[in-house]
C-alpha cells in the first residue's frame, strides 16, 4: 500500500539572484539568449555551506527554479498574449512561458561559470535583480536536449538585429565601459520593447548594470542609443 504524506511543504527561497537588471523592462525573455548577462546566485545562510553544491562542478549548466515576485497577483485569466505572436494573438497560459501564471514560478537554464563560497556565478540570466530562487538542479543533456522536439510558433530563436544595427556612439560606449556596452548591444539586438508597440518615434529606456539607457528607432530597422545616465 502506498502512503501519501498529508503534509504540504511550503516553498521558500534557497537563494536570491543578483543580476544587471533593476526592473522587468529590458530583461531577456528567455535564458541563454544574452550570454553577456551574468549574475550571481547567492544562497541564504542555511544553504551557503559548500556541501550543498558538492559535485556541481561536474556540470556546465544548471536549472534555476525562480519566483516572479515582481508580478501582480494572478487575476485568473486563462489566456495570455505571447510576444512571439506579435502581442495580439492569445494562447492558454499553460501553452506559454508568460510570467503571469497561477503559481508565479520561472525556469531558467544558465551556464555555470564558477562555484564560489556561498554562491554560483552564472551567465545567460533572464531575471530581475533580487529574484528568489527556490531550487537549483544540474542540466542533463542526455535526457533534456531533444533536437526532434516540436514547438511550431516558437521553434526557432528570436530574430536578432546585427550588432552593427545597434548604434552606440563612442561617447556613450566610453561612459558605459566595454562589458556594459556589449551587454546593452546584445539586449538591443533583440526586441525588448512590447511587440505591439510600432511607434517609430517613441523613446524607450531600461535600467541595466547601474545605467539608464534610452534609445529610439533608426533607419533600416536599426536602434540608436540617444542617452546614458548613471543610476543613483
| Average pLDDT over every residue of 134-154 | 91
**DSSP calls for 4-24:** --SPPPPP--SEEEE-SBSSS
- Answer for the pair 181, 169: CB distance below 8 angstroms, yes or no: no
Phi, psi of 53 (to 5 degrees): -115, 15
- What is the structure's pLDDT at 98? 86
- What is the structure's pLDDT at 196? 55
Domains delineated in the chain: 15-152 (2.40.30.70), 163-230 (3.30.2310.20)
Phi, psi of 181 (to 5 degrees): -60, -45
pLDDT grade for 8, boundaries at 50, 70 and 90: low
On the CB side of 27, CA atoms within 13 Å amount to 21
Q: With the C-alpha atoms ordered 196, 165, 18, 154, is the resulting torsion angle positive or negative?
A: positive
Q: Is 225 exposed, middle or buried (0-12, 13-18, 19+ CB in 10 A)?
A: buried
Strand pairing report for 91-92 and 79-80 = antiparallel
Q: What percent of the chain has pLDDT over 90?
A: 68
Q: How far is CA 227 from the centre of its chain?
A: 24
pLDDT of 210 higher than 50? yes
Q: With the C-alpha atoms ordered 204, 205, 208, 213, is the resulting torsion angle positive or negative?
A: positive
User: Could you give the strand order of the β-sheet that contains 223-230, starting from the edge strand earlier in sequence?
Assistant: 166-167, 223-230, 211-217, 204-208
| Helix, strand, or coil (residue 139) | coil
C-alpha to C-alpha distances, 124 to 10, 63, 139, 223, nearest whole angstrom: 29, 11, 14, 22
The cell for 232 is 543613483
pLDDT (tens digit per residue) in 43-62: 999 999 999 999 999 999 99
Q: Report the alpha-carbon distance of residue 137 to residue 122 in Å, rounded.
A: 13
Mean model confidence pLDDT for the chain: 90
- Answer for the pair 28, 187: CB distance below 8 angstroms, yes or no: yes
pLDDT (tens digit per residue) in 163-202: 999 999 999 999 999 999 999 999 999 877 765 555 667 8
The cell for 136 is 537549483
- Answer for the pair 203, 216: CB distance below 8 angstroms, yes or no: yes
Amino acid at each position: 500500500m502506498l502512503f501519501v504524506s498529508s503534509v504540504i511543504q511550503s516553498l521558500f527561497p534557497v537563494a536570491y539572484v543578483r543580476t544587471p537588471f533593476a526592473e522587468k523592462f529590458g530583461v531577456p525573455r528567455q535564458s541563454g539568449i544574452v550570454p553577456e548577462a551574468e549574475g550571481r546566485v547567492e544562497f541564504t545562510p542555511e544553504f551557503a555551506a559548500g556541501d550543498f553544491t558538492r559535485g556541481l562542478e561536474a556540470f556546465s549548466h544548471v536549472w534555476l527554479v525562480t519566483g516572479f515576485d515582481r508580478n501582480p497577483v494572478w487575476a485568473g485569466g486563462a489566456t495570455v498574449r505571447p510576444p512571439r505572436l506579435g502581442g495580439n494573438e492569445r494562447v492558454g497560459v499553460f501553452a506559454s512561458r508568460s510570467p503571469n501564471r497561477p503559481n508565479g514560478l520561472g525556469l531558467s537554464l544558465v551556464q555555470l561559470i564558477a562555484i564560489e563560497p556561498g554562491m554560483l556565478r552564472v551567465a545567460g540570466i533572464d531575471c530581475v535583480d533580487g529574484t528568489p530562487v527556490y531550487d537549483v538542479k544540474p542540466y542533463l543533456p542526455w535526457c533534456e536536449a531533444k533536437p526532434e522536439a516540436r514547438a511550431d510558433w516558437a521553434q526557432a530563436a528570436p530574430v536578432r538585429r546585427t550588432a552593427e544595427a545597434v548604434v552606440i556612439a563612442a561617447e556613450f560606449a566610453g561612459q558605459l565601459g566595454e562589458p556594459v556596452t556589449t551587454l546593452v548591444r546584445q539586449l538591443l539586438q533583440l526586441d525588448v520593447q512590447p511587440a505591439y508597440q510600432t511607434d517609430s518615434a517613441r523613446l524607450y529606456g531600461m535600467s541595466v548594470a547601474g545605467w539608464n539607457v534610452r534609445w529610439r528607432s533608426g533607419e533600416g530597422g536599426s536602434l540608436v542609443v540617444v542617452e546614458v545616465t548613471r543610476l543613483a
